[in-house]
């Protein structure tokens, strides 16, 4: 039985004895005592005031006296208006710590037998991954880990946008100006090379548009439609859909270059997938579903041959599903992908990790899937997150102004190496490779933590310099706290201290008195399961970040004020070593949910 359950049961008993009223567990509101007040846990007594027919302060005082009278958990109390602050006995904290220390999977829920699919990344094969993709991948990967910790079986999926007009733009540019260039001859990753041609297409396309506007006095929209390059790209897309062998061969070759580049980026980022879907395989399934919907009267065809869904009855507008030439749009592809996924897996919940600019898209997708008769239509979850912005404004792929994911990660690692140079140089017996590995973990940890600590639904401004700071609410601060504890553990082992015998440290407790900062650490540790549970319910890695930072702060405050290895009392020294070790373990498990690795030395 947890401490919260013990206190709740005692409050129910007290209210029954004092006022003759039976209350439920849900009526007992427990919270952490606010800073500046004596106590560890606070009970809100306002729900009992009406039954007691007494002032809130008197009700709090009467219940507090009863809890002390019962003995065991509560040693003393103080009442502030309708709030009852409780001081919990050291024996309870030690028993709680013993339970936490003995649990190898502390904070993780038992398997619930349900399957959740989480889709993230969703790259286009016409450009490399950029900073916006980094946030998407880190959020999706972290959400998957958090849901696994909450008992879900999670399938991590990626839908690759490997077809469409944007792909044809890169292909056409390579044909016109590539001169047979390959990643090997260019000395570039394949995704970077193809991205260069996407930018090159746009450069020539914009020049053609300007020329048409100047020479033929066309308005901009007309010029964009009439530019020869865009017509060539559209013709190539039609050939692709007609399975033209030359176009398909070029498409496959260039996509393979991109996939090899993506794989390198994913490995560096620490992101992986259980199943990858490709729109080139799903769009035909989507087209068949649209055609079925057309026959069943769910959709309609216009005079130009295009197929539309009328969603005005749902408070939306009309949505294009098939173009005049019969080619698919993204919505059609998503319908096919959804159908295929539910055929592949018995999914209980489908989560799409996609930016908030696509909220309308997923509203429409949910309605269309439901209209087509798929039971999962109404149950899909669009995890909508905000955009990443830079100090100098938004990123634009076609203009080549994005922050490349590979360059960003390399720079973060380089910055970490530079910032941590003084600390690393103090370590003896460390090789160049080990220094670089520390820099990798710190640099990527800084990047991941900085992005994930922000409420995912908000836009964020990315600041690399702030993220790499070893002080404040950063990944390196938490990593440094962990490394400090690991150093303490190594010294404890060398000295022969009984650092990891939890039963010995917590059994004979009648003379073991805890200070307020030790109690604060145990209480913070005890909150970890509820934080993991809430992060799962809210789909919020930021809650894990906040918890890890608070735990690291609590430990550093304790470590600053109290000695661990030099504590003369052997039993207290053993407890403090064990407490430090459990803090390190919990920090490691918490940030692992964020995809952050912990260095043993810094």
In this structure, the number of other CB atoms found within 10 A of the CB of residue 245 comes to 8
Q: Which fold has domain 3-88?
A: Gyrase A; domain 2 (3.30.1360)
Specify the DSSP element, H or E, that contains 147: helix 131-149
d(C-alpha 341, C-alpha 364), whole Å: 18
Average pLDDT estimate for 237-264: 96
pLDDT of residue 87: 95
Which one of 3-17, 255-269, 469-483, 497-511 scores highest in mean pLDDT? 255-269
pLDDT classification of 463: cutoffs 50, 70, 90: confident
Tokens of 316: 């939306």
Per mean pLDDT, which range of 285-299, 331-345, 426-440, 545-559 is the poorest? 426-440
pLDDT of residue 461: 86
Sorted by where each begins, the domain ranges of the chain are: 3-88, 120-275+329-389, 405-592
Answer whether residue 447 shows pLDDT above 70. Answer: yes
Tokens of 81: 């208006």
**Tens of pLDDT, residues 11-62:** 999 999 999 999 999 999 999 999 889 999 999 999 999 888 999 999 999 9
If phi > 0 it is left, if psi is from -120 to 50 it is alpha, else beta; for residue 388 that is beta
CB 286 within 8 A of CB 335: yes
- If you ran DSSP here, which 8-state letter would residue 16 be given? H
pLDDT of residue 507: 57
Q: How long, in residues, is the chain? A: 602
Answer whether residue 77 shows pLDDT above 70. Answer: yes
pLDDT classification of 3: cutoffs 50, 70, 90: confident
Tokens of 403: 């922050």
Average pLDDT estimate for 371-394: 81
CB 573 within 8 A of CB 581: no
Closest alpha carbon to 567 in 468, 492, 517, 493: 492
pLDDT of residue 282: 92
Closest alpha carbon to 84 in 54, 61, 65: 61
Average pLDDT estimate for 512-536: 95
Average pLDDT estimate for 114-118: 96
d(C-alpha 596, C-alpha 483), whole Å: 14
Answer whether residue 394 shows pLDDT above 50. Answer: no
Closest alpha carbon to 352 in 370, 368, 337, 332: 337
**Tens of pLDDT, residues 565-580:** 999 988 899 999 999 9
Answer whether residue 156 shows pLDDT above 70. Answer: yes
Specify the DSSP element, H or E, that contains 43: strand 41-44
Average pLDDT in the chain: 91
pLDDT of residue 398: 43
In the chain the first and final C-alpha atoms are separated, in Å, by 39
In this structure, the number of other CB atoms found within 10 A of the CB of residue 203 comes to 13
State phi, psi for 441 to the nearest 5 degrees: -65, -40
CB 159 within 8 A of CB 122: yes
pLDDT of residue 304: 95
Average pLDDT estimate for 187-191: 97
| pTM, rounded to two decimals | 0.90
Chain centroid offset of residue 192 CA: 26
State phi, psi for 83 to the nearest 5 degrees: -120, 130
What torsion do the CA atoms of 323, 328, 332, 334 make, to the nearest 10 degrees?
-150
**Tens of pLDDT, residues 290-335:** 999 999 999 999 999 999 999 999 999 999 999 998 878 889 999 9
Cα distances from 293 to residues 288, 296, 315, 322, 433, in angstroms, run 9, 5, 20, 12, 59
CATH of 120-275+329-389, picked from 1.10.287.540, 3.40.50.150, 2.40.10.230, 3.40.50.620, is 3.40.50.620
Tokens of 206: 């914009």
Start-end of H helices in 56-119: 56-70, 90-102
What CATH number is given for 405-592 in this structure?
Answer: 1.10.730.10
Answer whether residue 473 shows pLDDT above 70. Answer: yes
In this structure, the number of other CB atoms found within 10 A of the CB of residue 9 comes to 15
d(C-alpha 327, C-alpha 314), whole Å: 26
Closest alpha carbon to 531 in 548, 514, 512, 516: 548
Helix (H, G, I), strand (E, B) or coil at 385: strand
Helix (H, G, I), strand (E, B) or coil at 401: coil
What torsion do the CA atoms of 24, 29, 31, 34 make, to the nearest 10 degrees?
-150
d(C-alpha 449, C-alpha 445), whole Å: 6
d(C-alpha 85, C-alpha 60), whole Å: 9
């Amino acid at each position: 039985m947890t401490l919260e359950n013990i206190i709740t049961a005692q409050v129910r008993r007290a209210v029954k004895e004092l006022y003759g009223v039976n209350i439920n567990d849900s009526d007992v509101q427990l919270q952490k005592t606010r800073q500046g007040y004596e106590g560890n846990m606070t009970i809100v007594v306002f729900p009992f005031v009406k039954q007691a027919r007494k002032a809130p302060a008197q009700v709090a005082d009467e219940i507090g006296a009863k809890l002390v009278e019962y003995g065991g958990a509560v040693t003393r109390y103080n009442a502030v208006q309708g709030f009852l602050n409780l001081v919990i006995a050291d024996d309870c904290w030690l028993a709680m710590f013993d339970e936490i220390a003995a649990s190898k999977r502390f904070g993780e829920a038992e398997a619930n037998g349900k399957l959740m699919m989480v889709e993230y990344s969703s790259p286009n094969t016409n450009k490399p991954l950029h900073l916006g993709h980094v946030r998407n991948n880190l959020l999706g990967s972290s959400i998957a880990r958090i849901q696994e910790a909450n008992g879900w079986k999670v399938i991590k999926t990626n839908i690759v946008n490997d077809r469409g007009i944007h792909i044809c733009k890169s292909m056409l540019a390579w044909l016109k100006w590539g001169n047979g260039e390959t990643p090997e001859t260019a000395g570039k990753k394949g995704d970077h090379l193809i991205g260069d041609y996407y930018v090159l297409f746009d450069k020539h396309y914009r020049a053609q548009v300007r020329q048409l506007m100047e020479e033929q006095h066309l308005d901009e929209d007309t010029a964009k439609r009439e530019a020869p390059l865009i017509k060539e790209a559209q013709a190539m897309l039609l050939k692709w859909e007609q399975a033209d062998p030359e176009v398909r061969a070029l498409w496959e070759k260039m996509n393979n270059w991109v996939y090899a580049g993506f794989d390198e980026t994913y490995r560096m980022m620490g992101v992986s997938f259980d199943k990858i879907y490709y729109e080139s395989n799903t769009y035909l399934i989507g087209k068949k579903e649209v055609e079925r919907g057309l026959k069943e009267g769910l959709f309609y065809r216009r005079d130009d041959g295009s197929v539309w869904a009328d969603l005005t009855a749902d408070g939306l507008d009309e949505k294009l599903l098939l173009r005049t030439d019969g080619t698919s749009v993204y919505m059609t592809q998503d319908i096919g992908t959804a159908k295929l996924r539910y055929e592949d897996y018995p999914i209980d919940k489908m989560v799409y990790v996609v930016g908030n600019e696509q909220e309308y898209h997923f509203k429409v997708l949910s309605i269309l899937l439901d209209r087509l008769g798929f039971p999962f239509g109404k149950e899909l979850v669009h995890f909508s997150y905000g955009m990443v912005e830079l100090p100098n404004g938004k990123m634009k792929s076609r203009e080549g102004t994005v922050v490349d994911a590979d360059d960003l990660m390399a720079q973060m690692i380089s910055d970490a190496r530079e910032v941590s140079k003084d600390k690393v140089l103090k370590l003896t017996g460390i090789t160049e490779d080990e220094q670089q590995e520390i820099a990798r973990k710190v640099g990527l940890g800084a990047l991941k933590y900085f992005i994930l600590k922000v409420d995912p639904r908000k836009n964020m401004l990315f600041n690399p310099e702030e993220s790499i700071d070893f002080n404040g609410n950063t990944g390196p601060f938490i990593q440094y706290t962990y490394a400090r504890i690991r150093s303490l553990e190594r010294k404890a082992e060398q000295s022969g201290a009984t650092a990891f015998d939890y039963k010995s440290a917590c059994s004979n407790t009648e003379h073991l008195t805890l200070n307020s900062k030790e109690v604060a650490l145990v209480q913070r540790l005890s909150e970890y399961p509820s934080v993991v549970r809430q992060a799962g319910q809210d789909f919020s890695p930021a809650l894990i970040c906040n918890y890890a930072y608070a735990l690291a702060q609590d430990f550093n405050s304790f470590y600053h004020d109290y000695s661990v290895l030099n504590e003369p009392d052997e039993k207290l020294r053993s407890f403090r070593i064990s407490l430090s070790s459990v803090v390190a373990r919990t920090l490691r498990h918490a940030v692992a949910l964020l995809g952050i690795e912990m260095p043993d030395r810094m």
